[in-house]
Chain A
């Protein structure tokens, strides 16, 4: 793991701007380098530019019934096996969670979830001493 030498990089994907801002503010204040994306295409552009230590994505983007969050996870997985992935969703059906696990998601969190809890999960996933892949 190299992120100990620099700020950990986090990509956050959510179609609601205010939520993006909330996650951005929270993690920036805690020493993360945070990029934001509103849709899968924008997330792709970020993923092409640099590697991320963690990706937090909403399950449903652009108000649709689809599970675009999983597409993003799949693309992250295809690029980098060490990037940690987290889905945060208000629509957490069991099937959705199973599907997410099948895509290799590391954590599946249900809203309402406090920001502090997301941070706890992110940090424990990124800490190499707790990670089998590092």
Chain B
């Protein structure tokens, strides 16, 4: 990952070459242009963060070029160079939106200081624009507990931090895949950059397409202005694609191209743009079976599956439940401005007996409800209302079931709750409707 992409515009080859050598040695990526028109072309194709423009160009003057570049991308910073540094010129350049004005012969260390400051401001702005939910979730430690399953995840996660390859997080709904993705971003090399979070299941094909890749004005009905895609917002940072198993087949090749060539196109655009993102993908589905069923592209799977992380379901880490519950209670107390409630022994036992199909998210929900309803300072078993009502009645029996049987029972219950409405049941179960139909067939559950 480079420190920044810099466009150097000067018709003097020696000067351009000198600046290039110097900037590359300091970790920047350099794009060159020897005329105003070449600069415009390079600018559209490569989207530099900063343009360093010589005042005298063979075809345009720097002020005119400045205007054209800002029209393409208002966020670009422009540094103007001139051999005849007059005050009037400097004032005009700054008025027209140039960030800095430097005189030739260029003092390279001064240029370096300016570039670093400009880039820092730019990245601060971009992080804000990402508006990614830097909420309380950020502080959550995804590896709370001492169970073998969670310690194994912690050690696997440490190992992938150094790499820049895509990461695939698999795990059940509510098990903490998003929290882990956020942790990976915050502890990786791109921590200072944007973290952009997109749920592929929540958007239809067209919306996902234009949200992710952006679109040009007039690309489709309603596209009255050009819009940058989230990929551009995530440039140099991390793109978190949740529920990647639900990404439509038509969108998958475009994502593959981003991963293989670091290129993409906005919808309705004819030229490629460059982008540098680290992908973290997550899914609760078994992606390899989607590949076998030809519902997920095998080449994309090949590309994203080399660094797999498996988030264990809560029932495989029963010994962590107590500390997770205590943590959640403390958090809830903070939000409500109260003292944290204690957990009675029988309540703790009940939490450990329950099967937690909704995992940590469900644990939080159950505790939140309990805290709101509880009257004393201690939560007892009586205060807990589980989402699987039947689990309370026969927890021990429930725990001896196979996973398949548990799934069958849960589906039956949810379906009954929803009066046999498959679409609503699928939504509640966090499944695509087609998967629920398959399960109904597999478990021989007749649809009412």
Cα distance, A24 to B289, chains bound together (Å): 16
Tell me how many residues of B have a C-beta within 8 Å of chain A.
16
Whether, in the assembled complex, A18 has its beta carbon less than 8 Å from a beta carbon of chain B, the answer is yes
Contact residues in A for B289 (Cβ distance below 8 Å): 18
Bound-state CA distance A115–B289 (Å) is 20
Query: A16–B305 Cα gap in the complex (Å)?
Result: 11
Specify which chain A residues have a CB less than 8 angstroms from the CB of B147 in the assembled complex: none
- Once the chains are docked, how many angstroms separate the CA of A100 from the CA of B161? 28
Which residue of the partner chain B has the closest CB to A118? Answer: B302
Bound Cα distance from A117 to B208, whole angstroms: 30
The answer to whether B359 has its CB under 8 Å from any CB of chain A is: no
Inter-subunit contact A25/B299 (CB<8 Å): yes
What does the 1/0 interface line of B389-418 toward A look like (CB < 8 Å)?
Answer: 000000000000000000000000000000
Complex CA gap A24/B287 in Å reads 17
Is B306 positioned at the interface, with any CB of A under 8 Å from its CB?
yes
Q: Would you call B46 an interface residue if the criterion is a C-beta within 8 Å of the partner chain's C-beta atoms?
A: no
Residues of chain A contacted by B298 (CB below 8 angstroms): 18, 21-22, 24-26
Q: Which B residues are in CB contact (< 8 Å) with A18?
A: 287-289, 291-292, 298, 301-302, 305
Please encode chain B, from 249 to 265, with 1 for each CB lying within 8 Å of some chain A CB and 0 for all others: 00000000000100000
Contact across chains for A23 and B260 when beta carbons are under 8 A apart = no
A22–B306 CB distance below 8 A: no
Those of A112-126 within 8 Å (CB) of chain B: 112, 114-116
Given contacts A17-B292, A111-B306, A112-B306, is CB(A22)–CB(B301) below 8 Å?
yes
Q: Please, which residues of chain B bring their CB within 8 A of the CB of A111?
A: 306
Cα separation A116 to B302 with both chains bound (whole Å) = 11
- Taking a contact as CB atoms closer than 8 A, the residue among A17, A24, A26, A116 that contacts B288 in the complex is A17
Bound-complex Cα distance A23 to B301 (A): 11
CA distance A25 to B301 in the complex (A): 12
Contact check, A26 vs B292: say whether CB atoms are below 8 A apart. Answer: no
A112 and B291 contact, Cβ closer than 8 Å, known pairs A22-B298, A23-B302: no
Q: Is A19 in the interface zone, CB < 8 Å from B? A: yes
Q: B380 at interface (Cβ–Cβ under 8 A)?
A: no
Q: Are A22 and B291 also in contact (CB < 8 A) when A90-B306, A112-B303, A114-B303 are?
A: yes
A114 to chain B, nearest CB (A): 6
Are B291 and A21 within 8 A (Cβ)? yes
Q: Which of A22, A26, A112, A116 contacts B165 (CB 8 A)?
A: A112
The verdict on B307 contacting chain A, using a C-beta distance below 8 Å, is yes
Instruction: Please pick, from A16, A17, A115, the residue contacting B299 in the complex, using a CB distance under 8 A.
Output: A115
Q: A90-B306, A112-B303 are in contact. Are A21 and B292 (CB under 8 A)?
A: yes
The residue of chain B having its C-beta at the shortest distance from the C-beta of A21 within the complex is B298
Find chain A residues with CB under 8 A from B288 CB. Answer: 16-18
A16 contacts across to B, CB distance below 8 A = 288
Contacts of A24 in B (CB 8 A): 298
- Residues from chain A with Cβ under 8 Å of B301 in the complex: 18-19, 22
What are the residues of chain B within 8 A of A25 when measuring CB–CB?
A: 298-299
Q: B292–A22 contact, CB under 8 A? A: no
From A22, A115, A116, residue with most partner B Cβ within 10 Å? A22
Is B260 within 8 A of A19, CB to CB? no
Task: Offer 25 A-B interface pairs, CB within 8 angstroms, sorted by A.
Answer: A18-B287, A18-B289, A18-B291, A18-B298, A18-B301, A18-B302, A19-B305, A21-B292, A22-B291, A22-B299, A22-B302, A24-B298, A25-B299, A26-B298, A26-B302, A90-B306, A111-B306, A112-B165, A112-B166, A112-B303, A112-B306, A112-B307, A114-B303, A115-B302, A115-B303
Given contacts A112-B306, A114-B303, 5 further A-B contacts (CB under 8 A): A16-B288, A17-B292, A26-B298, A26-B299, A26-B302
- Which B residues are within 8 Å of any A CB, using their own CB? 165-166, 260, 287-289, 291-292, 298-299, 301-303, 305-307
- Rank and list the top 7 A-B pairs by shortest CB-CB distance, nearest first: A18-B288, A22-B302, A22-B298, A18-B291, A112-B306, A21-B298, A111-B306
